[in-house]
């Protein structure tokens, strides 16, 4: 464990976890995250940003070859292409690929299935790209990426080259043992707020709906999946059970559990060696699939 990670974990517990536990409204969470992203998250200058015609951001890279369709996290109620642009730009630079970060509708103004519909619209816009598409996401964006993969498979659409997710939320019923076992150990996510945030998104829809919780979806015939999560996260079992579920469907799965890593640690790539290492790991996976 790096010195930076040893310092980052207590800092996040003191600041981010406390803030998320006390934030009263989605608007407050949105403003805070956008401001912090502008201040602290910076991508490589070699990767240029433009407005994507489908809504959202496009990050520059080779004209030919795969594109990464990345769905940002934020509990379905906050976050944006701008908050995650720097991290994805760093991944683009390492992998030698371009990326699109679509702008999907957020709850509670736009509850389920608005985000899923927007994710599918974005995929349909790029799915015929000659070099293929990789799906990616983190936290709630990881849920969107995995549920999108299930829907693509069910509808017989062209498969992505692969799907990756950082600390994905895969079960909105929060039934994994780690949700309670790691409630005090998780340095970012306050477990006591999850039900409230989930209800803002679901608005009465069953938490076991497979489009909302990909842990309950079908994946037979799906392309390879790469997952990672920290062993102190409340979402640890969301990854472990998701990996087992995918393998039972015959999907090629890589699942990496990192010790004492905080929720979606790659977003701290500017300061955290472990974040850069993980981005290099997923980039190596992406490029190996791209060569096949």
H or E stretch covering 258? strand 253-258
**What residues form DSSP beta bridges with 68?**
99, 134
Q: What does the alpha-carbon distance between residue 231 and residue 211 come to, in Å, rounded to a whole number?
A: 26
Catalytic residue (one of 139, 167, 178, 213): 139
Which tokens go with 263? Answer: 């929720």
Q: Give catalytic status of residue 32 as yes or no.
A: no
Q: Give catalytic status of residue 82 as yes or no.
A: no
H or E stretch covering 100? strand 98-102
Catalytic residue (one of 84, 245, 261, 263): 263
Q: Give catalytic status of residue 84 as yes or no.
A: no
**What residues form DSSP beta bridges with 13?**
none
Alpha helices in the chain (DSSP H): 3-12, 18-22, 26-40, 81-95, 114-126, 140-155, 178-181, 194-202, 236-248, 273-290
- For residue 264, the tally of other CB atoms under 10 A from its CB is 29
Catalytic residue (one of 16, 58, 82, 233): 233
User: Catalytic residue numbers?
Assistant: 139, 233, 263
């Amino acid at each position: 464990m790096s010195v930076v990670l040893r310092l980052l974990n207590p800092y996040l517990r003191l600041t981010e976890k406390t803030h998320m536990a006390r934030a009263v409204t989605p608007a407050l969470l949105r403003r805070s995250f956008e401001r912090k992203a502008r201040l602290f998250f910076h991508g490589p200058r070699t990767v240029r940003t433009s407005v994507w015609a489908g809504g959202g951001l496009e990050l520059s890279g080779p004209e030919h070859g795969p594109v990464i369709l990345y769905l940002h996290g934020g509990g379905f109620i906050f976050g944006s292409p701008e908050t995650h642009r720097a991290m994805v730009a760093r991944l683009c630079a390492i992998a030698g690929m371009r990326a699109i970060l679509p702008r999907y509708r957020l709850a509670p103004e736009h509850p389920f299935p608005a985000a899923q519909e927007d994710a599918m619209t974005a995929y349909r816009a790029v799915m015929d790209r000659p070099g293929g598409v990789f799906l990616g996401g983190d936290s709630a964006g990881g849920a969107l990426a995995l549920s999108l993969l299930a829907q693509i498979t069910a509808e017989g659409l062209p498969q992505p080259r692969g799907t990756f997710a950082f600390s994905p939320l895969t079960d909105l019923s929060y039934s994994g043992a780690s949700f309670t076992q790691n409630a005090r150990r998780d340095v970012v996510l306050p477990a006591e707020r999850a039900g409230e945030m989930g209800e803002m998104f679901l608005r009465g829809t069953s938490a076991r709906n497979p489009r909302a919780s990909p842990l309950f979806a079908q994946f037979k015939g799906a392309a390879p999946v790469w997952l990672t999560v920290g062993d102190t996260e409340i979402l640890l079992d969301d990854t472990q059970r998701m990996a087992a579920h995918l393998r039972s469907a015959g999907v090629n799965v890589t699942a990496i559990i990192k010790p004492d890593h905080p929720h979606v640690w790659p977003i701290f790539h500017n300061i955290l060696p472990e974040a850069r290492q993980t981005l290099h790991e997923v980039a190596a996976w992406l490029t190996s699939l791209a060569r096949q």
